[in-house]
Amino acid sequence: MTNETAGRLYVVATPIGNLGDFSVRARETLQRCALIAAEDTRHTGLLLRHFGISTPLLSLHDHNERQRAPELVLRISAGADIALVSDAGTPTISDPGYELVCACAAAGIQVIAVPGACAAVAALSVAALPAARFCFEGFLPARASARREQLLSLAGEPRTLVFYESPHRIVETLDDCREALGPGRRAALARELTKLHESIYRGTLAELAARAAASAEFSRGEIVLIIAGAPPLPEQSMAGEMDRVLGVLLPELPLKQAARLTAQIVGARDNEAYKRALHLKGA
C-alpha cells in the first residue's frame, strides 16, 4: 500500500561520461528535490555545479547505506522528495541504493525511476553480440580462485554474459575467461564509454586476452566485458563434456557438489550430472 502523504524517492541516472547524456528530466528532478543521496558527494557536487543545481547532498554508499536508509525513509515519510544518484550511470546496478529502495518500498513510499545512462546496456547495444537475452553478472570476484569458480559455473550459460571489470584486473580476467569459457568464444570489450577515449574491441577471448596483455590502454578506464553465450551441445557431445568436467571436479569436490557444478557448466540437468557422477565413481 502506498503512503499517500509521503514524499517520493527518485532513482536518477547520471552520465557515465558525456554530460550531454544528462536528461532534462533528471536535471529538473535533482533541482526540485529536498535532498540528494549520493554515492560520493564530491563527485556529484561537480556535476551539480556544472548544471547550476544547488540541492543539498548527503552521502549514501556501501559502508553507510544500511544505517542511513531508515533516516531517509523517515524524511520521505514526512513529505520530503529525495533523489538517489550514484557516481555514474543508474543507481543499484552494481552501485549503492538497493537497501534504500527496499526500505522505501517496504514503507509504502513511491519509488520512481528517472532513467538514463547504464554502462552495461550501452556496451551491449554496440557489442555486435546477441542481446535479446543476456545475463548481467556485475563485477567478478577479485580473488582469482573465486573468479575462476564463478566463470566455470557460467560456462554453459546460453545467454550473452555481461560483466563490469576494473582496469587493473582485466588482463587476469580475460585469461581466466579464455580458460573457463574457451578461447574461441566471441566477446567484446567496451572501454571508457561516451568519453573522449571510448574504445570497442571485438574478437575471440583468446584474441582479446592477447591484445590486453600487449597493450597498456586496456589497463585504463572503466570497462564492460560482453561474452557470447555457450552454444548448445548435441546430446552425445554433452555427455562427453560432462565426463570431462566431472573428471576434473570429482577428485577435488564432494560428489553432489561436483555434479551440481558440472550441470551448470555444461547446461545439463542436475539429475543427469548426478547420475553420470555416480557412474564414474562406480557407486
Residue 1 has pLDDT above 70, yes or no: no
Residue 47 has pLDDT above 80, yes or no: yes
Average pLDDT over residues 75-80: 97
Pairwise CA distance, residues 51 & 253, whole Å = 56
Determine the pLDDT at residue 234.
Answer: 64
Pairwise CA distance, residues 120 & 227, whole Å = 12
Nearest to 12 by CA among 72, 105, 83, 61: 83
Q: Are strands 223-227 and 199-204 parallel, antiparallel or unpaired?
A: unpaired
Q: How confident is the model at residue 233 (pLDDT cuts 50, 70, 90)?
A: low
pLDDT tens profile 205-219: 999 999 999 998 888
Look up the domain containing 19 and give its range: 8-117
Average pLDDT over residues 249-269: 89
Mean pLDDT taken over the chain: 94
Residues 213 and 244 placed together within one structural domain of the fold: no
Q: What is the CATH number of the domain that holds 67?
A: 3.40.1010.10
Residues 124 and 218 placed together within one structural domain of the fold: yes
Q: Are strands 160-165 and 223-227 parallel, antiparallel or unpaired?
A: antiparallel
Nearest to 224 by CA among 115, 126, 90, 158: 126
Whether residue 23 is contained in a domain is answered as yes
DSSP lists the bridge partners of residue 92 as none
Pairwise CA distance, residues 27 & 33, whole Å = 10
DSSP lists the bridge partners of residue 82 as 9, 35
Q: How confident is the model at residue 239 (pLDDT cuts 50, 70, 90)?
A: confident
Least confident of 147-151, 194-198, 207-211, 268-272: 268-272
pTM beyond 0.85, yes or no: no
Determine the pLDDT at residue 231.
Answer: 84
**To 5 degrees, how large is the angle CA 278–CA 231–CA 239?**
20
Residue 235 has pLDDT above 70, yes or no: no
Pairwise CA distance, residues 119 & 209, whole Å = 21
Residues 101 and 148 placed together within one structural domain of the fold: no
Determine the pLDDT at residue 100.
Answer: 98
Whether residue 2 is contained in a domain is answered as no
Average pLDDT over residues 114-118: 97
Residues 14 and 102 placed together within one structural domain of the fold: yes
Residues 82 and 43 placed together within one structural domain of the fold: yes
Task: Write down the residue that cell numbers 573457463 correspond to.
Answer: 180
Q: Label residues 161-171 b or e (16+ Cβ within 10 Å = b).
A: bbbbbebebbb
Q: How many helices (H) and strands (E) does the chain have?
A: 11, 10
